[in-house]
Amino acid sequence: MNLKSMTADKLVGLYRNHDLSVTEVIQSVFDEIERSDKNIRAFLSLCKDRAFEDARRIDARIASGEELEPLAGVPVAIKDNMALRDAVTTCGSKILDGYVPPYTATAVERLRGAGAIVVGKTNLDEFAMGSSTENSGFFVTRNPHNLDYVPGGSSGGSAAAVAGGMSVIALGSDTGGSIRTPASFCGVVGVKPTYGRVSRYGLVAYASSLDQIGPFANSVRDCAQVLSIISGFDPYDSTSADVPVDPFQREIEQPLDNVRIGIPKEYFVPGLDPEVKERFQGAIKTFEKLGCKIDDISLPHTEYAVATYYLIATAEASSNLARYDGVRYGIREGGESSLAEMYRKTRMKGFGKEVKRRILLGTYALSAGYYDAYYLKALKVRTLILQDFQKAFEHVDLILTPTSPTAAFRIGEKTSDPLSMYLSDIFTITCNLAGLPGISVPAGKNSQALPIGVQLLGNHFQEALMLRAAYNFERAFLVQ
């Protein structure tokens, strides 16, 4: 069975009509993983026994005529920085190799409560630090559209699982574009919600003020449905927002008449690929045909976003990753002579090069004599970036940008130049700094048949409007 274009609502409909059994679909998923994942390498671990147990239970309920949950029997892949009880959770790092958490992340628990079946944990850049999924401590994930290219990062495994037909939906995390960039590179839909919309309980922290969990799917409708399920207040997360959650998929078919969309002039950067620019301009025309009003806007502090992000994110990473010391969980190395020696040897062996780089940068930025010059200044610029968006949203309802300045790049192309890799996130990081919701929607392919995505940004907690615009674009694009 081919899941590459399958949607969750269609699959549940087939179950209800007794056209398919959940068990045979789950079997076909694992068959596809066995066939395809030896090349793509999207998964770090599989949850076969649990998945088949869940499938048989749902099949029995279908046979008895019971009402099904909205995602009953839908295969889902989970990024391996989210806790899943009794399943290995590594964050793509050797320092957590073999770690099994005693609890499940709230977002994953809510998906399972809606009937979804977890088929496996997906590969990622170590501790979500990267833009290509080349920084995993275990292996590189490849783009299903062309195995010589990256799937984007850090949630590359989740995007590749959906694009490769090995899962219908997937969860990723987004700290600076880690959902939207892989969605763009792999030709699927990816949503980063407003900060606080989805509980971070059970998400292993990279940069706590930036991290947010969100869905991947083959359609905007599926993303809307998944987002409505995983959203909502959680007492286990002190940053969780107590804001009402309506079913986001309920109104996505409403028209876009007179919706105002802003185009930031600062996003037409010199490194913008001509084919990406062409697709982006085509998206602008599509929204005009849909009845939207297009306005030029300015986000003047965008040029400082990359520097600001890589100060704040690395500083928070330095603090968060201090807990990995070889004492409480994960691997332990040496320590015969002193505790300090054990810390040093454990971290030397357990952390990869990119994680070490970011810990060092963050520790430096937080150190005495440099805190005011770097970290404190970055916090002030972050406020200016937020104010740019607040001013823009006084005049427009949504903001449209490219998701990435390029389509997927070749594996190994940017690994020797960290700055070039960091600039891959130039269009996505401002969204995290401001805590806004964003979505990447497929907008065609380039001359090498690699997907290109466009990004919509909404005001805080305006996911419903953002998803409605994305759905209308998706539907219009498919009939072009």
Residue numbers annotated as active site: 79, 154, 178
Which tokens in the block code for residue 355?
């994680």
Residues 6+ apart with CB under 8 A from 361: 310, 311, 314, 318
Instruction: Supply 306's token pair.
Output: 């990359």
Q: Please, are residues 391 and 303 in contact by the beta-carbon 8 Å criterion?
A: no
> Please, are residues 176 and 164 in contact by the beta-carbon 8 Å criterion?
no
Q: ∠238-242-248 over CA atoms, to 5°?
A: 125
Q: Alpha-carbon distance 156 to 345, whole Å?
A: 29
Residue pair 125/135 in contact (Cβ under 8 Å)? The answer is yes
Q: Are 407 and 448 in contact (CB under 8 A)?
A: yes
Report, in this order, helix, strand and coil percent for the chain, each rounded to 5.
45, 15, 40
Q: Residue 420: which H helix or E strand, with range?
A: helix 418-422
Total residues belonging to the chain: 480
Q: Which long-range contacts link 293-296 to residues 24+ away (Cβ below 8 Å)?
A: 293/258, 293/259, 293/260, 293/261, 294/261, 294/263, 295/260, 295/261, 295/262, 295/263, 295/395, 295/396, 296/262, 296/263, 296/265
Residue 46: half-sphere exposure toward Cβ, Cα within 13 Å: 19
Q: 431: which 2 tokens?
A: 């969204």
The H-or-E segment that residue 398 falls in is: strand 398-402
Return the closest-CA partner of residue 182 out of 474, 476, 440, 475.
440
Q: Is the dihedral of CA 460, 466, 468, 471 positive or negative?
A: negative
Cα end-to-end distance, the chain, whole Å: 27
